[in-house]
Amino acid sequence: MVSQLRPTSFKVLSLTTISSPHHEKRLPKVYRILERMGLETAAFEQLTTEYMQNQFNPATPDVDGVRYFSYGALASPSLFSPFRASHRIIKRAEGDNDGLVSVRSASHGVYKGTLLGPSHLDIINWTNRLKWIFRRLIGQENKCG
């Protein structure tokens, strides 16, 4: 939004990303694993190093006058985590990660720190969505507003 829409009714002072893959190198292998598990990965395929370097980054350059900050995340997946395999692959290749994005890849602009504990599902709030779906399936209402 900052570089493409160039808002005119307000001035963007900063952009902070949280566990966003700015430089991920091993995601294609992770996608194949997720696809075998029956999960749709089409949207994630745009987050490969090749796509980010050759298409996304050139089309969305940093904007002068905007400060860029980032955070990464470090999680240890449980036995039944959907990111158990991807966490292992990324850890071997790039080090600490949240199950989908390495801490190194999450760094862009001024790196502010690493969140300890949340998985990528937690960060994008899928954990709560999955709980709500499960509750609906067993007939419980979501009482959150």
For residues 124 and 99, is the Cβ–Cβ distance under 8 A?
Answer: no
pTM of structure:
0.69
Sign of the dihedral through C-alpha 124, 125, 131, 134: negative
pLDDT in tens, 6-35: 767 888 888 888 887 766 655 566 666 666
Residue with tokens 């940093």: 62
For residue 26, the model assigns a pLDDT of: 54
In order of 10, 20, 92, 143, the CA distances from 124 in angstroms are 26, 10, 24, 20
Rounded average pLDDT over 74-90: 86
For residue 145, the model assigns a pLDDT of: 46
Q: Is 139 left (phi over 0), alpha (psi -120 to 50) or beta?
A: left
Rounded average pLDDT over 75-101: 87
Rounded average pLDDT over 130-135: 64
Written as six digits, the tokens of 79 are 């036995």
Written as six digits, the tokens of 69 are 């900050």
Is pLDDT at 49 greater than 50 in this prediction?
yes
**Alpha carbon distance 97, 27 (integer Å):** 12
**Alpha carbon distance 33, 114 (integer Å):** 26
Is pLDDT at 59 greater than 60 in this prediction?
yes
